[in-house]
Structure 1
Amino acid sequence: MALPWRSRKSGQKTKPEKSVSRTEISIPMHFLCPISLELMKDPVTASTGITYDRQSIETWLGLGNTTCPVTNREMENEELIPNHSIRKVIQDWCVANRSLGVERIPTPKIPVTGSQVADMMSEIGEATRRGDRARCDQLVVKVKNLASESERNRRCFASNGMNGVLAATFNAFAGASSESPAAEILEEALEALATLLPLGEEAASRIGSPESLNRLVSILQHGSWAARLNAALVVKELLASNGAGADVIAGTKGLVEALAKLVEEPISPRAAKASLVSIFYMINRDERAASRVVDLGLVPVLIEVLVGPEKSMCEKALAVLDVLLGCGSGREKAYGHALTMPVLAKKMFRVSDMATELVVSALWKLCRDDEVGGEGRGRCLQDALQAGAFQKLLLLLQVGCGEATKERATNLLKLLNGCRGREECVDTMDFKGLRKPF
């Protein structure tokens, strides 16, 4: 039995007024994956003796299934053996039908196994203990390349604890001079770690050591473009996995400054986003760290970031800005920027539900500030009115929001209502869905 493969005859010209003649190519049924019913690119045989395409059967197993999809028998193990015979026959069939438009399936790369990962981990650990930088470099590059080949390889390395070994290697050479040959292995280990994120408990403990943190700061400041990106990604994961230890990490000399620099002068959107998340973790529970970030001039930088259309970046910038507005110096910087109120009002419904809540929180912190009394406070409220904040807050209460946001929005409306009377700037598109005008 075979399924048809329709292909245009070679050399036949297309005529608009006539249908194009096609030739049906019969694909043998045993070339098709029983799950996807498509031509197998990487045939593997399960413990039940049935051959599947690797991607299909791995997806099946990844969903928690333990039975064979064809026989419904319990699989003794999840080991999948490459079926080189059927793969070679499929490739020969593709070559034979090349003239009919069938492309040859490339020979797949054999994925790493758990035992191979264990051997590599043992070798890296031994080379690290000997201080054999050259051998460490060779093995780490091998891990990095294999992990980049496929998601399956990446999962295999991560599940077997390769992150902990790589972090130990990074920590072992972290104290070396930036000009020493060890600098190369550090960047390679960092890239491999960034490929295998999240870090895991053991790797986070190693990378969180003072020596490793100081080296990460050095790389963030002076490393290559790729190394600085990888360092930002690793720092972000480190802060995410440490929780209560974020304030200790934030105390690392030069770390906050290096991350703020990546936001102010981004080398890539990914690095800037990772830096913003890292800064958020560091300042969220530490007012002193927040004041340091304000002093670095990040408030106007964040407002400029919000002008851009990239939603993910805006959401992260809003999260950091909202925390910085919790301190007096942060609000003072925001008051001095002409775009603060217009940008916040514009982003209220333009990014996400979380961003909308952050905007309301930021507006509330700015408009209720008791330290800005009299004329200064009136100017803030008037700027919010001119930006259309009053109408948007009314709309927000109609469409619904969280209790905390609802309370802030209600209080903001009371403050703004007392300053109404002057001509207001209103974006009529924001009123779609209102039952009646206000």
Structure 2
Amino acid sequence: MLPHERGHPPPRRRRMLSLPAVCPCEAISPAPLLASLLSLAAGVRDADLGALPALRGAAREAVRIAGLLLAFLDAVASDAGGHTPLPGEAVLGLSELHVALQKLRLLLADCSRKGARLWVLMNAELAASELRVVMGSVATAIDVLPDAIVTASGEARELAGMVSRHAWRAAVRLRPDAEDERASRGVRSVLARFAAGATPDADDARLVLARVFGDETSSACAEEAAFLEAELLERLEMPGGEDDSDLVLLASLLAFLLYCRVVLFDRIDDPKKPDASPAVPPRTSAARSAAWVNTEALQCPITLELMTDPVTVTTGQTYDRASIKKWIKSGCRTCPVTGERLRSAELVPNMAARGIIEQLLLRRGVPIHHEPSGKHRCAVDKTASPFGAAAAGGVRLAVAFLVTRLSKGTPQEQRKATYEVRKLSKRNVFYRACLADAGAVPWLLHLLASPDSTVQDNAVAGLLNLSKHPAGRRALVDAGGVGLIVDAVSVAAKVEARQNAAAVVFYLSSSTDYCEEISRIPEAIPTLVRLARDGAYRGRKNALVSLYGLLQCADAHGRAVSAGAVAALAGLLLAGDGGDDRGEDLAVDAVALLARIVEKPAGARAVAASSELVTRVVDFLGESASRSAKEHCASLLASLGRHEGERVLPLLGKLPAVMPALYALIADGTPVAGKKARWLVNEIHRHYELRQTTQAATPATAEHRGIRV
């Protein structure tokens, strides 16, 4: 029974070594069923066994039996096409054969799946058991076929007997190869040393690695680790995934690969060298171009991340499918790059770009279907547990080795160590905790001054990942790194490093204590203001959210105003009316930050001094589709009304767009936004009523006095 038939939601994709098959319809006639069987059997017979990391002997026997079965089915089809139609009783046996061949095809595909060699090896006994069951099903199905089919000709009778005998023998005898068992024992021996907290001998680990992969490249480890990590996160995302019995083995094998990659290899494989990856040498023009192509050209213009499913829209621009679908679903009907209107929402797969990306990833040891994606972000929070003593021990040993390399290594060793820290800390909470506890943070801070821009960039990215963990933030502050991070925002060699440094400030500002320490640094707020004003999109975004966090400190408001934050935010808000989605996104953040600034009188005075800015806030309130943006606008205007009412309320009363926007917010906005909008409407009315009352109470001069008649 399939999972969804038991009342559980179906998995997002088929799990490795699970073999769901679709039984043919009971009403199907024998002829089309036989034709489908011929196609299935031919596909199994032609399977490439060279890619199998384990079960080579058993798989070879299964494929040989599939070839005999194909010959038998050919003989039956030839006889049925001549003068003897297939009887209806044959449907049962042929259907059983169809199900068995489906399972055999899935099993062979799983065993030869790229990047899953270690997982298949460690589950070789399970795979062999499934293979025995499938062979038993084939033998049973042959035995229950009607005699009219089996004895239709001498050739068919002989082939049916051969298939039955060989399948029954395989159902009893198929076992993993002896070499598979030796390699599996070697891996389990290393895992046992991990669990005991002992360091495995490097030569032993290297020998185990050679038995598993047949070569010793870090890209092979990276490829396998990418598969295991994706499998681990996929299972954690499923309901009840934390109780999955395979999590301990997955996490332990992942720790084994990480340890081997970190400890056994002194360099990162160069993706430009064709021998750096065990992947098949490129044969197509797309593959040849992967060596020299500019990777920035393969980034999605929306997310600035490498595309994994490139599609082309009607304007000819290429985007990642998930990103452009989200763009269109949000109501945007223009091309993000050209601004042209999309004539339709049709997305055409860009096979040329996909081929180049796939070859590029294969050269780096990451197949395209294993490229990490944002869909696992929820599962990352569930990785705080190491899932077993072996996984915990292996990761701690690898982390200790990395910290030693960070502190005492050569420049080349430090370069690789910072790269590994960046990768380790990206999507695993337990790995972050281990790195923070092992003392990686002070050495990463020390390497911010490295003359190597790559080392500096990796160090900042590693600190960013570690700042997402409470222990990482605490270690960063205790090491006196706040000032170094602030300096990196303005002086880091790479733009990406400056942007990531600003993001570190954001995570630090989530704590009130750390926020106050940051705000006491004279250059902290001015540096972020400059990045918000002059940086690229991602840098501006990170600077804005960091400033927003820092403004929870009372003394930060005055410093932000003095640093020119109001003028910088006004520039972003005024630039947000050009129809560009990124500009509008920054405008929403800018108005949120302005709303926080005007909570204090000094900030309100600075904003109220610009009638152009106040007018733009009113326009943005009416035109923005974002509910949060409308609420921020209402908060901003309400704070201005409280602190600078004499200056702002007359201006608001003269703007024709303000009342419709406020009444719309009262009718359709959130309760908080509606309350602020009502207060603002009442204040505007009260201001004008008071003004009219004052004018009426003023005594008229003699020449203007009316004469009552």
Q: Distance in 1 between the 2:589 and 2:466 partners?
A: 20
2:545 to 271, 277, 285: 277
Q: Is the 8 A contact 1:367 1:381 kept in 2?
A: no
Question: 1:86-106: CA deviations, max 9, x gaps?
Answer: xxxxx99xx9xxxxx9x9995
Letter in 2 for 1:254: E
Counterpart position of 2:70:
none
Instruction: List runs of 5+ in structure 2 lacking aligned partners.
Output: 1-18, 22-38, 45-101, 131-226, 255-278, 284-350, 371-390, 690-709
Provide closer, same or farther for how the CA distance between residues 394 and 420 of structure 1 changes in structure 2, counting only shifts above 3 A: farther
Q: Is the 8 A contact 2:529 2:543 kept in 1?
A: yes
Q: Distance in 2 between the 1:115 and 1:329 partners?
A: 55
1:298 aligns with 2:298: no
Counterpart position of 1:120:
398
How many pairs were matched up? 362
Q: Distance in 2 between the 1:41 and 1:122 partners?
A: 31
Q: Is the 8 A contact 1:127 1:133 kept in 2?
A: no
Deviation of residue 270 (structure 1)?
A: 1.3
Provide closer, same or farther for how the CA distance between residues 297 and 58 of structure 1 changes in structure 2, counting only shifts above 3 A: closer
Provide closer, same or farther for how the CA distance between residues 76 and 171 of structure 1 changes in structure 2, counting only shifts above 3 A: closer
Q: Is the 8 A contact 1:137 1:185 kept in 2?
A: yes
Question: 1:350-390: CA deviations, max 9, x gaps?
Answer: 14222221111111112233x553xx34533334x33x111
1:345 aligns with 2:623: no
Provide closer, same or farther for how the CA distance between residues 183 and 254 of structure 1 changes in structure 2, counting only shifts above 3 A: farther
Question: Which protein has the bigger helix share?
Answer: 2
Deviation of residue 171 (structure 1)?
A: 3.8
Q: Distance in 2 between the 1:132 and 1:336 partners?
A: 56
1:188 aligns with 2:451: no
Question: 1:294-343: CA deviations, max 9, x gaps?
Answer: 11221122122123143432332122101111223322222232432332
Q: Distance in 1 between the 2:436 and 2:649 partners?
A: 55
Counterpart position of 1:16:
none
Provide closer, same or farther for how the CA distance between residues 76 and 235 of structure 1 changes in structure 2, counting only shifts above 3 A: closer
Q: Distance in 2 between the 1:49 and 1:272 partners?
A: 54
Q: Is the 8 A contact 2:652 2:684 kept in 1?
A: yes
Q: Distance in 2 between the 1:322 and 1:231 partners?
A: 25
Provide closer, same or farther for how the CA distance between residues 58 and 230 of structure 1 changes in structure 2, counting only shifts above 3 A: closer
Q: Is the 8 A contact 2:558 2:602 kept in 1?
A: yes
Deviation of residue 417 (structure 1)?
A: 3.1
Question: 1:4-53: CA deviations, max 9, x gaps?
Answer: xxxxxxxxxxxxxxxxxxx999476445379x99x955443475955698
Q: Is the 8 A contact 1:2 1:26 kept in 2?
A: no
Counterpart position of 1:65:
241
2:502 to 232, 237, 252: 232
Q: Distance in 1 between the 2:564 and 2:242 partners?
A: 55
Provide closer, same or farther for how the CA distance between residues 50 and 415 of structure 1 changes in structure 2, counting only shifts above 3 A: farther
2:680 to 382, 400, 412: 412
Counterpart position of 1:366:
640
SS in 1 for 2:241: coil
Question: 1:119-138: CA deviations, max 9, x gaps?
Answer: 33112333455586654333
Q: Aligned ranges for residues 235-384 of structure 1 at < 5 Å?
A: 235-240=505-510, 242-266=511-535, 268-286=536-554, 288-307=555-574, 308=576, 309-310=581-582, 311-348=584-621, 350-369=624-643, 371-373=644-646, 376-383=647-654
Q: Is the 8 A contact 1:259 1:275 kept in 2?
A: yes
Q: Aligned ranges for residues 53-132 of structure 1 at < 5 Å?
A: 55=230, 58-63=233-238, 64-65=240-241, 74-75=245-246, 77-79=248-250, 117-128=395-406, 130=408
Q: Distance in 2 between the 1:264 and 1:281 partners?
A: 17
Deviation of residue 160 (structure 1)?
A: 5.5
Deviation of residue 147 (structure 1)?
A: 4.8
Question: 1:226-265: CA deviations, max 9, x gaps?
Answer: 221121121112222x234311221123111111110111
Question: Given the two structures, how large is their TM-score scaled by the length of structure 1?
Answer: 0.68
Letter in 1 for 2:487: S
Q: Is the 8 A contact 2:489 2:501 kept in 1?
A: yes
Question: Given the two structures, how large is their TM-score scaled by the length of structure 2?
Answer: 0.44
Q: Is the 8 A contact 2:486 2:527 kept in 1?
A: yes
SS in 2 for 1:79: helix
Letter in 1 for 2:241: N
Provide closer, same or farther for how the CA distance between residues 205 and 31 of structure 1 changes in structure 2, counting only shifts above 3 A: farther
SS in 2 for 1:416: helix
* Percent identity for Structure 1 against Structure 2: 16
Provide closer, same or farther for how the CA distance between residues 130 and 359 of structure 1 changes in structure 2, counting only shifts above 3 A: same
Q: Distance in 1 between the 2:232 and 2:557 partners?
A: 49
Provide closer, same or farther for how the CA distance between residues 33 and 393 of structure 1 changes in structure 2, counting only shifts above 3 A: farther
Provide closer, same or farther for how the CA distance between residues 228 and 57 of structure 1 changes in structure 2, counting only shifts above 3 A: closer
Deviation of residue 215 (structure 1)?
A: 1.6
Deviation of residue 397 (structure 1)?
A: 1.5
Q: Distance in 2 between the 1:57 and 1:182 partners?
A: 34
Q: Is the 8 A contact 1:47 1:76 kept in 2?
A: no
Q: Distance in 1 between the 2:552 and 2:559 partners?
A: 13
Q: Distance in 2 between the 1:247 and 1:325 partners?
A: 19
Provide closer, same or farther for how the CA distance between residues 75 and 219 of structure 1 changes in structure 2, counting only shifts above 3 A: closer
Question: 1:177-219: CA deviations, max 9, x gaps?
Answer: x5x758875543112333x355312221222247312222222
Q: Distance in 2 between the 1:277 and 1:348 partners?
A: 21
SS in 1 for 2:428: helix
Q: Distance in 2 between the 1:389 and 1:33 partners?
A: 66
Provide closer, same or farther for how the CA distance between residues 40 and 173 of structure 1 changes in structure 2, counting only shifts above 3 A: closer
SS in 1 for 2:250: coil
Q: Distance in 2 between the 1:226 and 1:76 partners?
A: 34
Counterpart position of 2:415:
137
Deviation of residue 401 (structure 1)?
A: 1.8
Q: Distance in 1 between the 2:107 and 2:612 partners?
A: 58
Q: CA RMSD in A?
A: 4.4
Q: Distance in 2 between the 1:200 and 1:295 partners?
A: 32
Letter in 2 for 1:59: E
Q: Distance in 1 between the 2:433 and 2:600 partners?
A: 44
Counterpart position of 1:429:
none
